[in-house]
Amino acid sequence: MLSEILQSKRAQIKKLAKISSVTSFEVEAEGFKHRNFSEKLARNEESNQIGVIAEVKKASPSKGILRENFQVKNIARLYENNSAACISVLTDQKFFKGSIENLIQARREISIPVLRKDFIIDPLQVAESYAMHADCILLIAAALPVSLLLELESQALSYGIDCLLEVHNEGDLEKAMSCKSKLIGINNRNLEDFSVNLETSLRLNKTIPPTKLVISESGIKNSGDIKLLTDNGIRTFLIGETFMRQECPGQALKKLLSSYAESD
């Protein structure tokens, strides 16, 4: 699935390159002030609070449509009002039914930092993220050779954009540790068969130095999952599907946070 997505993404980038350039996106973004994504999460950790990056996500390749009533601005506002630390917005159209417009709308609606969640594999996409005012971008180690990972990270940091380095296994983690970024996202989903296991976060976290901020991604459904992860030193989480399937995503976030607080 990853190779299929990347093949599609390369074709999209070729089309984008015919109408835009890194320079044109940089001019478009000039003077814009970004919100500090990593600092917001670090403040949560320093105050010993859990931090949730709440995701705006209409669909996934493995589960199909997650939410028919998909009102981006409303969902983003509900997340912020119910104590999300940051927001993640899917911008891939073909596989996740997302869009750049979704990110722009969500960010205008709220005051907390926003992550662009996509398959970023080219400098043009980093510049595009800058122009669309993303505060952070996702860089998936499994999708990038180390040289390109470092190049894209350097470009993003030069714009003042944070990078969330996503890893799935020890090989990915080795790549990510060669980067400057503080944020390491451990995705609990197996890219081969889409199975999810929180043990992935527990295993990989043991080898990550405390100078990094670890974010557990995928498969986090309830306060028991959060307690398992916090008991093992992980206090920040990216959660999407669990919230998207509920009638009110904001209330689902509030319930999860309060349930954890009661159990802690």
Please identify every residue annotated as catalytic: 55, 57, 117, 166, 187, 217-218
In 3D, which of 121, 123, 103 has the Cα closest to residue 113? 103
Backbone φ and ψ of 93, nearest 5°: -85, -45
Helices (H), 47-99: 72-81
Backbone φ and ψ of 32, nearest 5°: -80, 140
- β-bridge mates for residue 53, sequence order: 86, 238
Do the Cβ atoms of 83 and 40 come closer than 8 Å?
no
Residues contacting 164, CB < 8 A, separation 6+ = 37, 115, 136, 137, 138, 139, 181, 183, 184, 185, 215
- How far apart, in whole angstroms, are the C-alpha atoms of residue 259 and residue 203? 25
- How far apart, in whole angstroms, are the C-alpha atoms of residue 115 and residue 165? 12
- β-bridge mates for residue 238, sequence order: 53, 217
